[in-house]
Amino acid sequence: MAMSDRLLRAWYAGHPLLKLLSPLECLYRKVVERKRARFVAGQGEIYRAPVPLVVVGNITVGGTGKTPLILWLIDYCQRRGLRVGVVSRGYGARPPQLPWRVSAEHSAKIAGDEPLLIVQRTGVPLMIDPDRSRAVKALLASEPLDLILSDDGLQHYRLARDLELVLIDNVRGLGNGHCLPVGPLREPAERLQSVDAVLYNGAASDPQGGFAFQLQPTALINLLSGERKALDFFPPEQAMHAVAGIGNPQRFFTTLETLHWRPIAHAFADHAPYSAEVLNFMPPLPLVMTEKDAVKCRDFASPDWWYLAVDALPSAAFVLWIDRQLLRLLPNRLLP
């Protein structure tokens, strides 16, 4: 088990030795709180885009379902007649230059797995750059847009934002409630009081002060052919190899179990690279992976490799809320 995996388990399951890192946590909190205070006071170099910007982020380390929710937001905004763009850090990407506009034909090595997934699914204009302000400027220079979504970037305080949406895994919550390195929090839990909306991935109903959303499996997609199959393509009790290189792999394996299959779990680090040799599991069985993993595996996939397509399904209350926010931010742009 990698060091990062051991830390994640300790943060969410508890470990007595973490208290030894308390002095480092105090130092970390001072740094992030000072950074936040400067942003609130308007100090330093802060870029404000000429169009509304919505940050979709989290305050915890580990997967919370940002990409599916961003895909939902893109679709929802486009159906309301808005021209939407996305900026991303492009974690793990190795583009020839920065900023870099992602194309559906790029490899995941160049574009990063999440940005490539978003572009291949939606065709939305997307720019990657660790300097998100620079990415926004480049994106706006490339074509006219009404709204920009920032994939993560809640703590990127050189970029002004009009809405902050924070996602939390409803099962894991905030872990032990401590900041790095004692716990999984990027910022103190009190930060949630200043964001515009908190969404709980996996919640059955809207919790007090927040919104629920579910990840709903929709189909099996073959990596080689692109063939789309219904979820009953595999019969109940079908054994399969299951691959997940995401922030919370267990969530994916649990989803497969709820579909009444018998996954043999193969968890990898978030954004892990793959090869045919790494995924050559025994015994020979169908292999099912996440869509985020699939964008890195198509070039060497076998005929019985599939990914599970999932869609975010936010609560009705959130849909009404985001519609009101869009109407407030873009009163003259929304279609009726």
Over residues 234-276, the pLDDT tens digits come to 999 999 999 999 988 999 999 999 999 999 999 998 889 999 9
What does pLDDT average to over the chain? 95
Q: Report if residue 335 sits inside a domain.
A: no
| Structure confidence at residue 63 (pLDDT) | 82
Looking at the structure, tell me whether residues 151 and 263 fall in a common domain. Answer: no
What is the C-alpha end-to-end distance of the chain, expressed in Å?
A: 52
Strand boundaries in 26-133, DSSP class E: 53-57, 84-88, 100-101, 126-128
In whole angstroms, what is the distance from residue 85 CA to residue 92 CA? 21
Q: Report if residue 325 sits inside a domain.
A: yes
pLDDT tens for each residue of 185-237: 999 999 999 999 999 999 999 999 999 999 999 999 999 999 999 999 999 99
Q: Report if residue 81 sits inside a domain.
A: yes
> pTM for the full model?
0.94
- Token readout for 92 is 């793990």
In whole angstroms, what is the distance from residue 331 CA to residue 328 CA? 6
Looking at the structure, tell me whether residues 26 and 171 fall in a common domain. Answer: yes
Looking at the structure, tell me whether residues 194 and 232 fall in a common domain. Answer: no
Looking at the structure, tell me whether residues 138 and 233 fall in a common domain. Answer: no
SS3 312: strand
- Please check the confidence at residue 95 and state whether its pLDDT lies above 70: yes
Separate counts of helices (H) and strands (E) for the chain: 9, 13
Domain count, the chain: 2
Adjacent-strand bridge partners of 222: 306
**What does residue 306 show for φ and ψ, rounded to 5 degrees?**
-135, 155
Looking at the structure, tell me whether residues 88 and 195 fall in a common domain. Answer: yes
Looking at the structure, tell me whether residues 171 and 270 fall in a common domain. Answer: no
Looking at the structure, tell me whether residues 138 and 168 fall in a common domain. Answer: yes
Q: Report if residue 260 sits inside a domain.
A: yes
Q: Are 128 and 87 in contact (CB under 8 A)?
A: yes
Looking at the structure, tell me whether residues 266 and 289 fall in a common domain. Answer: yes
Looking at the structure, tell me whether residues 245 and 168 fall in a common domain. Answer: no
pLDDT (mean) for 51-79 = 95
Looking at the structure, tell me whether residues 14 and 132 fall in a common domain. Answer: yes
In whole angstroms, what is the distance from residue 282 CA to residue 285 CA? 8
Domain range for 221 is 217-311
Residue with tokens 């908190």: 198
Give me the CATH number covering residue 151: 3.40.50
Q: Are 118 and 74 in contact (CB under 8 A)?
A: yes
Q: Residue 8, class by beta-carbon neighbours within 10 Å (0-12 exposed, 13-18 middle, 19+ buried)?
A: buried
Looking at the structure, tell me whether residues 324 and 182 fall in a common domain. Answer: yes
Q: Report if residue 334 sits inside a domain.
A: no
Looking at the structure, tell me whether residues 50 and 103 fall in a common domain. Answer: yes
| Structure confidence at residue 2 (pLDDT) | 55
